[in-house]
Structures are given as structure tokens and as C-alpha cells.
Chain A
Amino acid sequence: MFDRAEIVYEYDGSFEGLMCCVFESFALKEVPSAIRTPSDQQSLFDTAKWIETDINKSDRVYKSIAAKISVQAQELVTLGFWTNAPQKELLIYYFLRLGYTHGSKVMSMLTDDTVSTLQKAVRHLTSESHKFKGFVRFAVYDKVMVAVIEPKNFVLPLISDHFCDRFCNESFMIYDKTHKMALVYQGQEAKLIYVDELTLPEVDKSEVEYRRLWKQFYQTIAIEERYNPKCRMTLMPKRYWGHLTEMEEYRELHNVSEKQRNLSKHAIRSYEPQRLP
């Protein structure tokens, strides 16, 4: 076992970089046990092999996916890279290995662990991006509109078309706090840029007024006799509430009750071990 040290690839975190990792693995006929970026946590003893990003190599790999597997597989891999699946790089790598072996059939191998895990991760991404088509809340600053979101997956590329099309005559920015990226649309042009931190100016009177009206509408529209907070929680989990205008008051309320619940949960947990033999 000692002569076969585990191979770990390190790359720059770009999609092209990952494609180069795939290239390297096939060129040298070696199987990495992990693929990571410099910012990932490292274990003490492994020594990673740095994979340089080379557009020519990545292009070859990317094109080969469509040619040797299928266009659908190419799309799945592209989307897979935007998910927050744990070790998504390795998942994509294993998927491609399977794909190069089985060809287009790989897309129908739904009972395979790798395929089903990758597809599930992509479904999570697409469903989250669909949710954000509704849950984005813009604040209007005179001519510009700004929204902040905190998604788990990198949804900006998936919602970009929708918002640029819908508000094609406006100028807006959607800031993804999780990934520190912003979608900026101005003068018919959309760009994805890195933004480390964002501080927003005070909102004006009319913005405050429309927020008030919207909150009031939200309160009014619920039918008291059908009150069902559990159902709401399922359809609109609490992690979205942070940036939803209408949930501002609920947020504080909820945090308090959550604290209490955690306390009582804790009490039960500390009690349990004593009961067990």
C-alpha cells in the first residue's frame, strides 16, 4: 500500500480547471481520490498535485462529452458544477468515467449511485433556482433595483435569463451573498462579477411605503381558519426568510421561539443518557 500514495488534484476552482483535472487523469491513467481547490480544507499528510488550467485541454474534454456521451450529459455536468453537492468535483469525475465507458446510455442509468446522486444534486439546483425566481426581492433606488439572495447552490446563471428578460428596460443587480457574486444588468447587457462586500444606501420614502403595503397585503391574504404554519415552512423554508420583505416581523418572532425550542430540545437530550442502561 505504501508505494501507491493517494493522488489528490488541486485546481483553481473554475469549470475549465476541473475539465483539465479530467484530462490529466485520463492522460496519465491515474485515478485521483480527491479533487479540491486551494481554499478547501486539507488533511495533514496528503500532497496535492497542482493542475494548471489550460483552455485547449478543457475545450477538448468539454467537446468530448457531447461527442462521446451526449449533449444531455454535457448539460448535466455543467449544471453539476454549480451545485453545492459535497465533493461535486469527484462526483462529476466519476460520472464522466462512467459516461466514457457506457456512452449515452449513462443518462438512463438512474439506479446507479453516481448518476442518481449527480442528478439529484442538479435537481436541487434547478428547483432552488426556480424558487428564487419568486423569492428575489428588489429594493428600488430611483433608477436602479438591487436584491440580495443567499442560495445554497450557485443559481445566478440559471435565473439570469428570466430576470434580464422580464426587466429588460431596467437596470438591476442581484447579489449572491453565499458565493460573493453579483448579476449586474445594465443597458441590455448582463454580467456576472465578483463582489466581496455590498453595503446598500438608505431606501427612500416610496420604497418604505410599498414595503409596508406589501406586508399588509401578505397579512391580509392569509385565511385565519386555514392557518397552517407547517405547510408554509415546507414550501418556503426558513432559510429564505432572511431576505423576504414580508417576513421581516416573523423573523424576529421566529428566532425567539426557535431559541426556546432549542433550549427545551437540549434539556431532553441531556436527560436521555441517564435513562439508557
Chain B
Amino acid sequence: MILSDSAKYDVACTSSGVDRRGKQGSIGSAANAGICHSFAADGRCISLLKVLMTNICIYDCKYCINRTSNDTKRTAFTPSELAELTVNFYRRNYIEGLFLSSGVIKSPNYTMEQMIKALTLLREVYHFNGYIHVKTIPGADSEFVTRLGLLADRMSVNIELPSQESLKLLAPNKTKDSILRPMGFISHKIQENGSDLVKFRHASKFVPAGQSTQLIVGATPDTDHKILILSEGLYKKYRLKRVFYSAYIPVAEHTLLPSVDTKPPLLREHRLYQADWLLRFYGFEANELLDEQTPNFNLQVDPKCNWAINHLEQFPIEINKAPYEMLLRVPGIGVTSAMRILTARRSSLIDFDGLKKMGVVLKRAQYFITCKGKVMNRLKIPSDSSLRTLMSDQPKLLTGFAEQLSFFPDPPMTREEVSQCLTEQR
């Protein structure tokens, strides 16, 4: 269990992205939507048996619990132990599959060899047909990456630190190149494999569920803007399926790191995930959400609301006419409800009551929309600044601010002042 204790800091636990039917003589299948089998006390989904092959490591990354210089108990799985455990958990429907990662033992290539051995045993001897996510070892040769990729459904190379400088400081054995090279290689292989599959029906599949990566947030001074631009690049250039963000949890005392009693920046992580969703499903671009002047997200207001408040000139929009892309940009309307609006528009005009039935969050959306040319009943359009207050996630914090407004109605506060209030910088 030491081996899952160290593996838990990997956030990825999704089992999505591939549909595979069960096979005669084998155990297991994979569902495209992914399946959560349980939820841990921290609220995170448990889908895969997340373990390390071994926590022995020759690297000395300052943020990692398994760094060479750390004095912890070291141990390792044998391939058959690992396969036995996976299959028995799987039969009981505890898990959707395996998430295998490893400390670097002897050399990157040697470690990869061990992982390949374990997965081959699992796939060929135990006939395991379920989901496998495997983390490649930075610095291993591409030949090993290829072999591992044919056994796994998803592969990931963790970037961990969002910039070259941060890497140099905290992970001296890793470089930007040693991370991006395998990433590029995997992405290339996936594409090549795609065309192979067209040519030969029985070509074996190379990581059919794509690749993902993880970034640590809050261990270094990198800004949200920088992180988001990086993610955008990864989605576009390397066609990553997911970028995961992990609020830094101090596991080590070091002068270069935040002190051990720092609380993990969970809200910041949450905002990054929200923004990530906006990039992938809502047609936003990183530079629309953040720029050099405001490089970090407002913790009080979610990124989409923040964007809408800063672009009031584009609102309100008419629900019965607006195109899908614009509906998606309204706070309180998500992908599902936008699709429902399109469907419902086909049969009749929509009013506010109808929107409610379709699951639109009117509390948020009301300020930005009209139905049949009308704004919502009894709604006074508030000024720019108080709107921000209304849309805030933590209205309690702002009661003092509201009183202040009624005391000094004129001149109204500027946008800057409001956001200062909201971020408690006064």
C-alpha cells in the first residue's frame, strides 16, 4: 500500500476515451464515457487501481515524495503480484482498470522494460481486456515507448512544472526537451497508427484513448495565464486528450518550495479546470480569458462570468435567435442546456419559465439574456460593478461592500476598485 500512497498525487483517474467490447476468453471491456467506481474522502473519483511499480527512484525532484534524498521505505511489485491484484479487484467491480506509474529504477529504459513485462503478463496471460493508463518514464528510448503504447489505452508524460526555469530549479534531472520529446513522439505515433488502421484492419492500436499530462499549480510563481497558454498549446499541437492540474501539496521541506504548512491552492486549481473546460468545449481561447495585465484568475468569480462581465457590450442576447456559439458564452448556460435550447426552439418560442425547465441557471443567466425580446420580470439591470458582486461565488464576503455602496451612491466605484474589494486587496 506504500505504492498507492505515493501514486495518489497523480490526479488523472479517468477511464474514458475508448470503447471496447468484451472478448470471448478475456475479462473486461472499456466504456467511452469512463466509469467512476467510488469516490474517496477527498471527493475525487476512483476509477483505476493507481499504483507505482516501485517507489525506488534515482531522480531527485524536489517536489516529489519519492525523490532519492527522501528517507522513506522503498518497495516494489513483481509483475505477477500486480496482475493478480488488478484482475481480482476488477472481477469484484472495484475498478475500471489499472493506472501504472513508477519511480525510476536503475535507468529509464530498465524501468520501462519492467513495466512492459507487467503489462504483457496482464494482457496476454491473464487476458485482461480492461482499461490501462500508463505513465512513461522521462528519458526512455522511443522504442520502449512504442512497445508500452501498444499495451496501454492511455499514456501520459507529466510536465509537472509549467516552465523551463521552474524545471531547472526543482527537477534538475528533467528538462523541457526530455518531456516534450516523448510527448511529440506519442502524438506522432497516434496519428501514424490512425492511418495504419485505415490501411490494415488488424493493425494493433497504439494508445487508443490518447495521451494526457499533469501540471502542478502553486509550487512555483508561474501565472495562470502562462499555464493556460501552455495547456492550449498542448491541446492544439500535441492533441492531448486532457491536461490535469494539481494543487501543490507540500510533501517536502526545501528552500525553493513553499513552506510545508502552505494550504494547497484548491480554488485556484478549480478556476483552472473551469478555464480548461472553456477551452475544450466552449470555444474560448486562452487570450480571451487572461492577458498580461490580468495574468491570474479572479478567485471570486468564475472565468466565464468574468469574461461576460468584461464584455457586457455583447449582451443581452435573444435566446430565441442567438447562435449556439453565443449561447455557450452566457453564464448559467452549459453545453447540455445550449443543445436543449436549440432543440426546443424548433417547436416553439422559449420564455423564462421554459428555460428553467431546461436546466438553465437563471440566477446567473438572467442578466445576459432576453426571451421574446423581454428581460426577466422585475429585473433591474444593475450597474457593471454591482453585477460583479451579484455573480460572485461568495456573496457573504461582500456584505460590507454593499453597505458602502448605499452610503456613497455617487460616484460609483470603478471596476478596479470592485475587483480589489473582491480579492481582498484593500
Contacts and interface: CB of A to CB of B under 8 A. Distances in A.
A and B associate in one complex: yes
Nearest to B21: A165
B46 A228 contact: no
Contact of A227 (B5, B36, B41, B85): B41
B249 A220 contact: no
Interface in A34-61: none
A220 B96 CA distance: 18
A216 B2 CA distance: 11
A229 B351 CA distance: 38
Contacts of B35: 130, 133-134
A166 B23 CA distance: 8
A264 to B, nearest CB: 23
A227 B42 contact: yes
A235 B39 contact: yes
A226 to B, nearest CB: 4
Given A110-B343, A162-B31, A232-B41, A210 B89 contact: yes
A108 B346 contact: yes
A72 to B, nearest CB: 11
A109 interface: yes
A231 interface: yes
Assign chain A's interface to a size class: 35 or more
B interface, by DSSP: helix, strand, loop or mixed? Answer: loop
Interface string A209-226: 010011011101111111
Contacts of A67: none
Given A134-B37, A221-B40, A165 B344 contact: no
B203 interface: no
Given A108-B343, A134-B36, A135-B37, A214 B92 contact: yes
A226 B22 contact: no
Interface string A244-265: 1110000000000000000000
B4 A170 contact: no
A232 B358 contact: no
A113 B39 CA distance: 34
A116 interface: yes
A238 to B, nearest CB: 12
Contacts of B266: 226
B264 A231 contact: no
Interface string A134-147: 11111110000101
B27 interface: yes
A151 to B, nearest CB: 15
A190 B28 CA distance: 17
B277 interface: no
B249 A232 contact: no
B92 A210 contact: yes
A100 interface: no
A111 B264 contact: no
B340 interface: yes
B22 A168 contact: yes
B4 A221 contact: yes
Contacts of A226: 42-44, 247, 249, 264, 266
B94 A137 contact: yes
Contacts of A165: 21-22, 29
Instruction: Please provide the 5 A-B residue pairs with the shortest distance between their CB atoms, ordered closest to farther.
Output: A231-B43, A111-B354, A222-B40, A226-B42, A228-B43
23 contacts: A108-B346, A110-B340, A110-B343, A110-B358, A113-B357, A134-B35, A134-B38, A134-B93, A147-B93, A165-B21, A169-B24, A170-B91, A217-B4, A217-B49, A218-B40, A220-B4, A221-B40, A221-B46, A222-B41, A226-B42, A229-B41, A232-B39, A236-B39
